[in-house]
Amino acid sequence: MLVRERGYVPGGWLVIVAPALFLFGVALGAGRRIPGPGADGRTANLRPALVAMAWVLGALAIIHFSSVGVPLFSSSIETSRFDVGSSGLGGFPSRAVLYGLPIAALGALATHRAETHRVTVALWLMFTVTQVFLGFKGGLVEVVLITTLGVAIRFGRLSFRQLRWVGLGGLVAGGYITLVGTRYQTLAGGGSGLDYILRRSTSDAIIAGYTALTARPVGIPADSSVFLRDFGVLLGRYLGTAPEGHSFDELVSAVVTGTPLQRGAFLVPVTVGGPVYLLYSVPVILAALILIAIGVVWSVSIRRLQRASSVTSLVTAAVVLYALRVFLMNGNGAYLLINLGFTSFLLLSSAGIGVVLHSQRLAHQVSAARIR
């Protein structure tokens, strides 16, 4: 659409064929054998691990919203929804809300069985509530997509009844977009409803990527890799060693919105998309191969999640699936790598605590039985 309206941009062909390259990789990955017990098998210590994750993530979510407030109820919802890093504690509360709960809900739904039903429902409800509280228009869309993906992985395909629920969820999410959009000052008089949703999910979704391909943003050398550059900038920011640098997405945002790169200026987060981010990080041929590889890893991760024999393999597969999906949509690979690294540690450590406590409880019960 943007090429027809504004003209061709270098590398635009890769963005257009990226879905085909991804699906080609998915097909390649489907032929790989994955060991494991299968979807109806048993994952060791699954229930205590999920229960522990639910308690830890729930507590961190309460800490986060207690510290920064609930953006949905804020009078300045458009800016307060981006103030997610102010809850402190090393960023773990904000990461629990932004990444931990979606990943845990995905993993729980994809491995759902009778003994984990209650904790799966609890994780899904916490995920849904926090997505609404964050104040993003697409909050319920994210819930519908993660839920659909998790259920499809669990059952292999969606039944007609499940598809009807997906359709109903889509209608509710669309209504939520319109309702929350009325509180955004930037949308005042700019339309809403179906017209806005269609525009936002097509041309608006890639306008930042298109803009990035028209001209290299200021501060990005021609021979540099934005992934490596972003990794250094973001790591320095988190560690406090170089807090003044700007990431690739921020530089693109400055071009798209016309915001000056100066102290105190608010740079609206933009999504350039995975293919554009790759074009700025590696040679074009390698970018195409990486898109195929992402499809392979996606396919393999789905079947690893279906056949997970341990909590570690379950969490790892769920993290990878979530990361690949977000990267393809948004780009920002270095940011995802750093934040999902922290999130993986959070999920695995909380799950490990649950497994250890469960094992100790079983050992105590066995010891007490022997004494009796």
Average pLDDT on 252-268 reads: 79
What DSSP character marks residue 355? H
Average pLDDT on 213-231 reads: 83
pLDDT at residue 69 tops 80: yes
At 111, is the pLDDT very low, low, confident or very high (cuts 50, 70, 90)? very high
At 98, is the pLDDT very low, low, confident or very high (cuts 50, 70, 90)? very high
What DSSP character marks residue 70? -
Give 124-140 pLDDT, tens digit per residue: 999 999 999 988 888 89
Least-confidence region, from 190-194, 264-268, 277-281? 190-194
Integer CA distances (angstroms), 220 to 137, 223, 229, 236, 358, in order: 31, 8, 9, 17, 51
Residue 76 maps to a domain? yes
Average pLDDT on 66-70 reads: 87
Residue 3 maps to a domain? no
Residue 10 maps to a domain? no
On whether the CB atoms of residues 27 and 99 are closer than 8 A, the answer is no
Residue 44 maps to a domain? yes
pLDDT of residue 275: 95
Residue 7 maps to a domain? no
Give 141-173 pLDDT, tens digit per residue: 999 999 999 999 999 888 888 999 999 998 898
Q: DSSP string of 231-248?
A: HHHHHHHHHTSSTT---H
Query: Nearest 5°: CA angle at 179, between 176 and 183?
Result: 130
What distance in Å separates the CA atoms of residue 234 and residue 334, rounded to the nearest whole number?
A: 8
Residue 279 maps to a domain? yes
On whether the CB atoms of residues 298 and 22 are closer than 8 A, the answer is yes
Rg, Å, the chain Cα set? 22
pLDDT at residue 189 tops 60: no
Residue 45 maps to a domain? yes
Cβ burial 143-166 (10 Å sphere, 16+ → b, else e): bbbbbbbbbbbbeeeeeeeeeeeb
Q: Give which of 271, 275, 277 is closest to 291, Cα–Cα.
A: 275
Residue type, 94: S
Give 349-360 pLDDT, tens digit per residue: 999 999 888 778
Number of domains in the chain: 1
Residue 8 maps to a domain? no
Average pLDDT on 308-329 reads: 93
Tokens of 49: 């691990």
Reduced to 3 states (helix: H, G, I; strand: E, B; else coil), residue 199 is helix
**Full domain range(s) for residue 145:** 17-371
At 177, is the pLDDT very low, low, confident or very high (cuts 50, 70, 90)? confident
pLDDT of residue 182: 73
Query: What percentage of the chain exceeds 90 in pLDDT?
Result: 48
pLDDT of residue 34: 63
Query: What percentage of the chain exceeds 70 in pLDDT?
Result: 90
pLDDT at residue 32 tops 70: no
What distance in Å separates the CA atoms of residue 123 and residue 135, rounded to the nearest whole number?
A: 19
On whether the CB atoms of residues 138 and 177 are closer than 8 A, the answer is yes
Tokens of 64: 């986060």
pLDDT at residue 80 tops 90: no
At 187, is the pLDDT very low, low, confident or very high (cuts 50, 70, 90)? low
- pLDDT: is 196 or 311 the higher one? 311
Give Cβ neighbours of residue 161 (< 8 Å, ≥ 6 apart): none
pLDDT of residue 135: 84
Average pLDDT on 277-292 reads: 95
Tokens 């998790």 -> residue: 150
